[in-house]
Structure 1
């Protein structure tokens, strides 16, 4: 099909990636802009990891390609994709292969440690809260230091979800 575009929404745990992704999708629907939304975390939710794919990147790529093929067959050419590390340049080959060389738009959502912790404490009810807090702090620093220079940064602290999503949609030029 060609000419596909992917909006990558990344950021630390607790920054609001999923919420922003769903709100971006709602804004695009309201503007009658064709798109698909994929929550990247669901593409590799398998245990144990395949023996030949310990970091699950292979299964993620295969699942992304399969789902995108179905959306592409419906005429879709825009993808909104949420996942912590998706905005890293090292992840781009996943989308280049699965989406056949799309235009890539990266948005890094940011939040302070205090904001992310408050959000994580509000949503995590199980045994992984402390692990999520540790990973969130580490990943925030890693993303800040390693995203490509063309990555758009959008702060989420003390902002309405709709305002954040409007800023993200504006970056795409899709409306």
Structure 2
């Protein structure tokens, strides 16, 4: 029996992780399913990187552990966690969710280069567009190479966010049960 569940939503920049995470959360709220949502990118937004932690991995784990501990103390047992490489960091995330066994559900959102360029073009208005597009392409290659078979691939091209979120929510089984915080 798992005492905690985490839905990892990973994927290249522009694949729809944040938007999809919020839509899955909306579906769960509508069904009165207790959960929380954490945007992993916000856990390591600091400059410069701490000494000895150039990729901010330790910072991410420590901040996730602190935030999750607060949610868990309030009775939450389900987490939606979005981050580009979340599906590659399941061990880090489950360590941060100490307090019992964790069931991990991994989803990697995919999108074509054309779709990603269009989405990033809509949000990257400054000088960072080309850099973000290049980083997204590198991230897509890394994820495809490193994400295990346990990670479901979900295509986001030409699909509504609601349709994508419903598919992902079905992977969790959470809509079949309710468990408000105690």
CA distance in structure 2 between the aligned counterparts of 1:94 and 1:126, rounded to whole angstroms? 33
Deviations 1:65-114 (A, max 9, x none): 000000001100000000000011xx122112111241110000000000
Number of corresponding residues: 172
Q: For residue 95 of structure 1, give the secondary structure of its aligned residue in structure 2.
A: helix
- Aligned-residue RMSD, C-alpha: 0.9
Indicate the residue corresponding to 1:166 in structure 2: 166
Q: Normalized against structure 2, the TM-score is what?
A: 0.92
CA distance in structure 2 between the aligned counterparts of 1:75 and 1:107, rounded to whole angstroms? 25
Per mean C-alpha deviation after superposition, the further-off stretch among 142-151 and 41-50 is 142-151
Indicate the residue corresponding to 1:73 in structure 2: 73
CA distance in structure 2 between the aligned counterparts of 1:133 and 1:158, rounded to whole angstroms? 19
Q: How does 1:25-44 map to 2 (within 5 A)?
A: 25-44=25-44
CA displacement at 1:168 relative to structure 2: 0.5
Q: Normalized against structure 1, the TM-score is what?
A: 0.96
Deviations 1:121-140 (A, max 9, x none): 01101221111000111111
Indicate the residue corresponding to 2:62 in structure 1: 62
Deviations 1:29-84 (A, max 9, x none): 00111000000000000000001211100110010000000000110000000000
CA distance in structure 2 between the aligned counterparts of 1:96 and 1:75, rounded to whole angstroms? 17
CA displacement at 1:145 relative to structure 2: 1.6
Indicate the residue corresponding to 1:19 in structure 2: 19
Unaligned residue ranges in structure 1 (runs of 5+):
none
Runs of 4+ aligned residues of structure 1 deviating over 4 Å after TM superposition are none
CA distance in structure 1 between the aligned counterparts of 2:4 and 2:114, rounded to whole angstroms? 37
